[in-house]
Structure 1
Amino acid sequence: MNSSAVKLSLVQMRWRGNHSDTMAAATELVEQAAESVDPAARQGGHVICLQELFATCYPCQAEDHRMFDLAESIPGKTTDALAELARRLEVVIVCPLFEKRAAGVYHNSVVVLDADGSIAGMYRKMHIPDDPLYYEKFYFAPGDVARRDIDVPRDRPNGFNIITTRYAKLGVGICWDQWYPEAARLFALAGADILLYPTAIGWIDEEKDEYGAGQLDAWMTSMRAHAIANGIFLGAPNRVGIEGQVEFWGNSFIVSPRGEILSRGDDHSDQVITADCQLAEMDVVRTHWPFLRDRRVDAYSDITRRFID
């Protein structure tokens, strides 16, 4: 991290029905995000984050073995294309994918492509849901637990460790991870400047009228709380469009270390949501709200228990 100012952009979009058209749309939106910044005036760098499983449909609404055909290796065709885009635009691109790690081993993953096109790091979703229309446990193995006793290669995931890029240190979770304060705290303690949560969440038609507003509010409130509790910038790009029985609700947003909403999308449009992240603000917030200073680290050992009987 060479700069104290980072432009953060979130790409919110609908799936186009196939990989090639979706990649073309995503490329156009990434280029649009990059063009919104005057390189001569830019103090720092530019981080652009795509939504969860952006290159495919959301595959988990049923337990369907044919959906495994959507997965790809890392590196692969999607990361290769976006790596060239990152290099050409000199931006960091956060690329969430359906990963085939090995025969029979699949993950819901993120690859972070640095501004020179290299792989800065990876993350594999740690918390895997199993809800109606979100049958992810059928498809995805959880990410591996962090190893502190060995040197992990830069392009391999390692629990809740941060990913260091040219412009910022990133803590990247995926969707269901966003509900867990433990994960956000670990990313922050490891030195992240920005938390990112690429997401695929939406309304089920028969629930929307009664529960929809509350579900959306809870989703945003949970992540705003992570930003406040850790004094950190946070961005969450979400899908839009109707796929199967789910209406993805968009509302991608970026918040400050005080939890203020800096920028927010609507619930239906392809959009780029952008905000300036002045990283020096984190120290100001953390010294005025010294939550990290006052943690009783000697008193929290029970947090690693499933339940305190």
Structure 2
Amino acid sequence: MSNTRSTGYLNIAAIQQVCSSDKAASLATTEKLVREASANGAELVVLQELHATLYFCQTENSDVFELAEPIPGPTSERLSELARELGIVLVGSIFERRMNGVYHNTAVVFEKDGSLAGLYRKMHIPDDPGFYEKFYFTPGDAHFNNGQSGFTPIETSAGKLGVLVCWDQWYPEAARLMALAGAEILIYPTAIGWDLTDDPEEQARQLEAWVTVQRGHAVANNLPVVAPNRVGTEPDPSGQTDGIQFWGNSFICGPQGELLARADDRAECILDVRLDRTRSESIRRIWPYLRDRRIDAYGDILKRVRD
């Protein structure tokens, strides 16, 4: 892990997008928004989870595996070329076909020359009504062949990116492990929304819990957080429910959890933030959580339950 301190400012864009059943149409929207973000000066652009398709996990349907692609493949090559042409670091999302019978929900990171800087395969996989992801996705590997943890930041010209995906955002362990490995930014591409039958009070509680837990990771690790979420209502293909209203509210916050930009729950948008790269170290000098951790006392964290 490098001890080099990041200095200066970084222009970040998080894209909140409506998705289509037509992959070509969704990717065309993605490209248009990425180009706009780049024209506005973004050096790091972050896309939401599964931005090329509808959120197909509302039901279990084996035909959906036809949407999966290898890496490299058509979508990754398109994102790579876009990063190269615009000279940006680009974080995208792909339904990855790793091999026959093994599929992942994978975040891909492209360097500004178009090269693949790294990928992260979603580690925590939900299985809840409307979010049947265990049917489709194999969890990421706990360790790679080179001995690296699955929670390893991706080195880029924009800094060390602690890329996680959606359901990972509820787990403080994932954020902390990324921070301990030297991540400079926590990134959570997301697809989350409301059950349309929930009352407004319950919807409000869910949304604010989502925002609060991620701001908590920022505070606890003294790191900025980038969390782009999809927006729009997507029907249940089975017709058994009213579908999901994705709640948007994409946001970027600083290392004290301070909100730097936040979207609404209705519209496609680009969040632009000029991030001070020195603030994390400055905050860690006055709130030294990492110094004061009692690592000698945390052994039970590795148990499923404590007897």
TM-score by length of 2: 0.94
Deviation digits for residues 23-60 of structure 1 (CA, Å, limit 9, x no counterpart): 111111001101112xxxxxxx7110100011111010
In the other structure, the counterpart of 1:191 is 182
In the other structure, the counterpart of 1:72 is 69
Structure 1 107/199 Cα, relative in aligned 2: closer, same or farther at 3 Å? Answer: same
Identity of aligned residues (%): 50
Structure 1: runs of 5+ lacking an equivalent: 38-44, 153-157
Q: Aligned partners of 2:11 and 2:205: how far apart in 1?
A: 30
Q: Does 1:93 align with 2:90?
A: yes
| Matched-pair contact (CA < 8 Å) for 1:3–1:167 | no
1:210 deviation in Å?
3.7
Q: 1:24 aligns with which of 28, 48, 52?
A: 28
Q: Aligned partners of 1:262 and 1:211: how far apart in 2?
A: 26
Q: Aligned partners of 2:304 and 2:8: how far apart in 1?
A: 39
| Matched-pair contact (CA < 8 Å) for 1:6–1:168 | no
Q: Aligned partners of 1:30 and 1:16: how far apart in 2?
A: 17
In the other structure, the counterpart of 2:128 is 131
**Residue type matched to 1:265 in 2?**
A
Q: Aligned partners of 1:17 and 1:127: how far apart in 2?
A: 25
Q: 1:180 aligns with which of 168, 171, 175?
A: 171
Q: 1:205 aligns with which of 186, 196, 199?
A: 196
Q: Does 1:215 align with 2:213?
A: no
Q: Aligned partners of 1:92 and 1:6: how far apart in 2?
A: 11
In the other structure, the counterpart of 1:295 is 293
The number of residues matched between the two structures is 296
Secondary structure (helix, strand or coil) at the match of 2:56 reads coil
In the other structure, the counterpart of 1:51 is 48
Q: Does 1:246 align with 2:237?
A: no
Q: Does 1:229 align with 2:220?
A: yes
Runs of 4+ deviating beyond 2 Å: 1-4, 149-152
In the other structure, the counterpart of 1:40 is none
1:276 deviation in Å?
1.4
1:3 deviation in Å?
5.1
1:17 deviation in Å?
2.6
**Residue type matched to 1:70 in 2?**
L
**Residue type matched to 1:256 in 2?**
G
Q: Aligned partners of 1:80 and 1:169: how far apart in 2?
A: 22
RMSD: 1.4
**Residue type matched to 2:10 in 1?**
V
Secondary structure (helix, strand or coil) at the match of 2:104 reads strand
